[in-house]
Structure formats: structure tokens, C-alpha cells
Amino acid sequence: MAQTISQKILAKHAGLKSVEPGQLISCKVDLVLGNDITAPPAIKEFEKIGVSKVFDKKKIYLVPDHFTPAKDIKSAEQVKMMRHFAQKYGIVNFFEIGCMGVEHALLPEMGAIKPGDLIIGADSHTCTYGALGAFSTGVGSTDMAAGMATGEVWFKVPEQLKFVYHGKLPKWVEAKDLILYTIGQIGVDGARYMSMEFTGPAIDTLSVEGRLTMANMAIEAGGKNGIFAVDAKTEAYLKKVKAGKGLVYRSDADAEYKEIYEWDISKIEPQVSFPHLPSNTKPVSQCGSVKIDQSVIGSCTNGRIEDMRVAAKILKGKKVNKAVRLIILPATQKIELQMMKEGLTEIFIKAGAAVSTPTCGPCLGGHMGILAEGERSIATTNRNFVGRMGHPKSEVYLSNVAVAAASAVAGRIVSPAAL
């Protein structure tokens, strides 16, 4: 039976020759992930199971990143619980202040992800790792607990969707725009519990960082996972981070897809998602005059060094509008250090930005940039639901890095071409 990349990975981990959409399977996992919001309830459930050890001390990753450094007593207690759990069970991969980062940027950077891996994480954006040819998906804290205890998880095999992107990316159009455009076309439930396979000539030109951005937001279309075929760029990235080759799978030419979408992206502009859904997209030229109070550049979606270089290119020699707060959040400490080495941090500070230590921060209304009533923020984050970044009557607009940086200078949402 012809299979897609996702089906082949699931079949391998279920010990089967093939799998079909809708089939219920039990799979062995290669990695279990949790953060400072989702791991504590998983730890409580784990303790109820009554086992004396975790399934593998090296395959569990605990990354406090949502409220790090701790913003209050409650968040400090959450991290304390994770720290003690890691110590109690000898968990090797616990990353806190001093050796941490936003989880979905940190794990690929440290070589924890390999092609062909099956990864579960108690965070919806665990789908990020599909950029490296892995099947990765978000689960609830209870499933995380079971995964830590048994090394297994059950799945209903998802239906398959294929997205083919043709053409050359126009100036200032980034990977973020491709995924925002995609979500705008199919809706936030257009891929509900389906595997989203990204391919085509335009995808071939994207950096691995760009692919990580796209896979990260598969969940915003309802996707069970997003996935890319491994190519020479992937292999070079994996070699650089010393991840190991893993198992590389290709979709069969006659694999069945529920639907195949094809677009010529040479004709699209930078996209902006208006409140309060990622699917509420408009080309930047049709945004009108939307004044902003804040611009956030960072997160697990767009906080990598490639993103920081784009922001610095826009901001060099310019000043942030006096009515705007620009917050820069490098996704890992390695990225933060590289920013310093390349002089990017100096560019940002001279422009009038605040540069933060790595944290999810304002992306989920955590800290480091909460919005007051009536305030608007443009952000390179992945969600703009009601109250996502603070007050229920605030607004979040999603964009690529170039638009977020240019808008911080202009004081309203604009294309970099307008500066």
C-alpha cells in the first residue's frame, strides 16, 4: 500500500508495514517533551500511575520557557516541581536559565531531533519538528504522563493533505507568509486532525529555519502534524547540529491524499492576520492604517538568528516610533550570543528596542509585554486569539519579521517597502 512520509513513520513506530487513515495504533516514541505549563500536571498524573522510573532518562525533555525567568510565585513553583522531578528520576535533559531557550527552537538547535523520529510534546506547537522529517505532534498532559511512564502513545492515523507551492518568493515575503496564506485559504479547521505535507519548488528554496516556521503553525490550521521531505539543506543542518541522520522517508508517488492544494506564491504579498484568528489574513497593502502600540519579534515561530538578521536589516539606522514598544526575544541563548557577536543587539538597542532573555513571554500573555485594554500589537508569534497577549479587549496582528520591524518604525502596520 502506497504511503506518505507521515504514514511510514507511524507504521514504523507501531511495528506495522502500513497504516490507513482512521486506524487506531499504539506507537513507541523517541522523545517526550513538556514545559512549565504542561509538565506540572503531567508530573502529578505520572505519580498517580505508581511506576518507580521513567521509560528512558535520556528521551524526556523538560524545558521551562513560558514564564521564564519566573514572573511570580506560582510560576516559580511550577519550575520547582519540574526541577525536583528531573532530579528524582535522573532526567538528563532539563533546561533552565543559563542553558535554555524556547523549547521548539532549542531542541532542533541542540540536535535532539532526527528524521523519522516520533515525538510527542505537551505543547500544541510540537509540530515544529516536522521541518526535519520527523512526525511530531502536541498531546495533553495526561498523554505526556503516560508517555514518560511507558514510552508509548496511541494515535488515530490522520488523513493526509498535500500543499504544493510554485514560483519564487517576492521581496519581503518569508516562510511565515506562506503558512499565513495557507491558513487564510483553508481556515483554522481546514486541516483538522490531518497531516499537512509541504512541498514544491518554492519550499525547496526555503531555509531549514523557514521550514521550522511553517511546520510550527500547522496546528493553526488544525493540523495533527506538518512535515517536509528531507533534502540536502536538511542534511546539512542536521550535520551542523550533530543530530545524526535518523531514518529518511519519502512519500510514495501514488500515495493518497484527501486533498492537494497548489498555489503560485510569486504573486502574494506579505500577509497580516487580523484579530482574532490566524486565518483572518490580508495582504499588507490592504491593511489600511492600523496604528500599533507594540511590536514583538521572537517566539518559537520567528525567534531564530535568521529572523534577527532580517529585523536588524530593517532597523539599522532607524528609530522605533515613540508611540511603540518594540520587544525582541531571541529564542535561545545561543541565538542571543550570536546576535551580540554580529552586532545585532546593538542595532536593536540603538533603534530603541528592548532585548529580552529567551522566553515565550508575551506570546501567550505570559510576561515581558502584556497588552492593556484597547492596545494593539503586531507580532511574529503564532496566535492572535482574544486576550492572547493580555487584556481581552486588546488586539494582536500576526506578520512576518520584516513587517513587524517596519511597523515598529512607522507606528502602524506597513510593508518594509514603505519605509
pLDDT tens-place string over residues 162-209: 999 999 999 999 999 999 999 999 999 999 999 999 999 999 999 999
pLDDT at 1: 84
Give the whole-angstrom CA distance, residue 117 versus residue 28.
Answer: 10
pLDDT at 52: 92
285, 320 in Cβ contact below 8 A?
no
- Look-up: residue for cell 529567551? 358
Closest CA to 379 of 223, 264, 272, 262: 272
Residue 259 has pLDDT above 90, yes or no: yes
How many residues make up the chain in this entry?
Answer: 419
Give the whole-angstrom CA distance, residue 7 versus residue 17.
Answer: 10
Contacts by 150-153, CB closer than 8 A, 24 or more apart: 150/55, 151/28, 151/29, 151/32, 151/55, 151/56, 151/59, 152/26, 152/27, 152/28, 152/29, 153/26, 153/27, 153/29, 153/120
pLDDT at 400: 98
Nearest 5°: phi and psi at 10?
Answer: -65, -45
Confidence (pTM): 0.94
Question: For residue 292, what are the CA distances in angstroms to 215, 316, 410, 416, 418?
Answer: 28, 20, 9, 15, 16
Pairing of strands 225-228, 194-199: parallel
Q: How confident is the model at residue 68 (pLDDT cuts 50, 70, 90)?
A: confident
Q: How confident is the model at residue 99 (pLDDT cuts 50, 70, 90)?
A: confident
Q: What percent of the chain is modeled with pLDDT above 90?
A: 93
Give the whole-angstrom CA distance, residue 67 versus residue 65.
Answer: 6
pLDDT at 100: 81
Q: Domain ranges for the chain, please list them.
A: 5-263, 271-418
Give the whole-angstrom CA distance, residue 275 versus residue 282.
Answer: 11
Instruction: Reduce the DSSP state of residue 226 to 3 states and report it.
Output: strand
pLDDT at 419: 82
> Which fold does the domain 271-418 belong to in CATH?
Aconitase; domain 3 (3.30.499)
13, 118 in Cβ contact below 8 A?
yes
380, 271 in Cβ contact below 8 A?
no
Q: What is the DSSP string of 8-23?
A: HHHHHHHT-S---TT-
Residue 382 has pLDDT above 80, yes or no: yes
Beta bridge partners of 263: 165
Q: What is the mean pLDDT of residues 352-364?
A: 92
258, 316 in Cβ contact below 8 A?
no
Give the whole-angstrom CA distance, residue 83 versus residue 255.
Answer: 45
pLDDT at 34: 96
User: For the ranges 33-42, 147-156, 346-355, 363-372, which has the lowest average pLDDT?
Assistant: 363-372
Give the whole-angstrom CA distance, residue 374 versus residue 391.
Answer: 8
Rounded to 10 degrees, the C-alpha dihedral 278/172/207/314 comes to -100
- Asked if domains 5-263 and 271-418 share a fold, the reply is yes
> Which fold does the domain 5-263 belong to in CATH?
Aconitase; domain 3 (3.30.499)
**Cis geometry, peptide bond prior to residue 41 (ω within 30 degrees of 0):** no
**Mean of the per-residue pLDDT values for the chain?**
95
Quick: pLDDT tens for 204-232: 999 999 999 999 999 999 999 999 999 99
Look up residue 240 and give its three cell numbers.
551542523
pLDDT at 229: 97
Q: In sequence order, what are the residues at sequence separation of 6 or more whose Cβ sits closer than 8 angstroms to the Cβ of residue 240?
A: none
pLDDT at 69: 87
